[in-house]
Amino acid sequence: MIGKLIIARHHESTWNKLGKWTGCTNVELTEYGLEMSRKMGKLLSGIPIDVAFASDQIRTLETLLCMENGASIDVPIHRSAALNERDYGDYTGKDKWEMEKILGEEEFNKLRRGWDYPIPHGETLKMVYDRVVPFYLQTILPILKEGKDVLIVAHGNSLRALMKYIESISDEDVSKLEMLFGDIVIYTLNEEGKMLTKEDRAIPSEVNA
């Protein structure tokens, strides 16, 4: 029997609060982010987590540790740069909402949500997919096939890339996909690591991102 896969996005970081494109910048959670991460842990009620994964960026580890605290669990944690946020290149550190005014809504949405839309000196979502999915298949899926339940705490775009594979979402439709702050998604999977069932749990969250 294949274990359950649970995915969650890190909660509010200091740059989220400022409305900045964070990307690879290693920023910490705000007090609000820490508090809400503990509440996210309570959403894990009834799921016996065996192992957890986070990106190399501190905001996912902080979220994960707070979730453990909120869920009263203590599991082995593995970290990998394969799960890191998308590199926003020349847009890193810029105010998103100011850039929306400069770029226009259509261009802005392509940049944020498009599948293979280029960013100067940065990554497309397709490039993120090309590092996240092999890591999932080679490292995480074998653990799931042992019947263990796995929690992944990562980022908006690295999780969108993973969800694209798991849910067999087309290149065109991935622009409609978003992983919200405060949400966790619980999957049952087939042998290929693709979705059989999906359950959403959430705590209401207000983040400027």
- Catalytic site residue from 10, 12, 123, 155: 10
Catalytic residue selected from 62, 68, 85, 123 = 85
- Nearest alpha-carbon partner for 61 in 43, 37, 39: 37
Instruction: Give the pLDDT confidence of 104-146 residue by residue, as tens digits.
Output: 999 999 999 999 999 999 999 999 999 999 999 999 999 999 9
Residues in the chain with pLDDT values less than 50:
none
In tens, the pLDDT along 183-198 reads 999 999 999 999 999 9
Domains of the chain: 5-202 (3.40.50.1240)
Q: What are phi and psi of 55, to 5 degrees?
A: -75, 180
Q: Report the alpha-carbon distance of residue 56 to residue 49 in Å, rounded.
A: 20
52 DSSP β-pair partners:
77, 151
Nearest to residue 96, comparing CAs of 208, 20, 195, 196? 20
What tokens does 78 get?
């593995």
Q: What is the pLDDT of residue 209?
A: 84
Which residue is listed with tokens 């909402």?
97
> Strands across the sheet with 51-55, in order?
77-80, 51-55, 150-154, 5-9, 183-189, 195-202
For strands 77-80 and 5-9, give the pairing: unpaired
Model pLDDT, residue 130: 98
- Residue 50 has a pLDDT of 98
User: Amino acid identity, residue 4?
Assistant: K
What is the predicted pLDDT for the residue at 203?
Answer: 96
85 given a catalytic annotation: yes
Which pLDDT score is estimated for 127?
98
Annotated catalytic, 98?
A: no
Structure tokens that stand for 62 in this block: 């902080």
Task: Give me the residues paired with residue 199 across strands.
Answer: 186
CB-CB contact of 7 with 83 (8 Å): no
Residue 19 CB burial class (10 angstroms; 0-12, 13-18, ≥19): middle
Nearest-5° Cα angle at 58, 54 to 62: 75
Task: Tell me, yes or no, if the pTM score tops 0.95.
Answer: yes
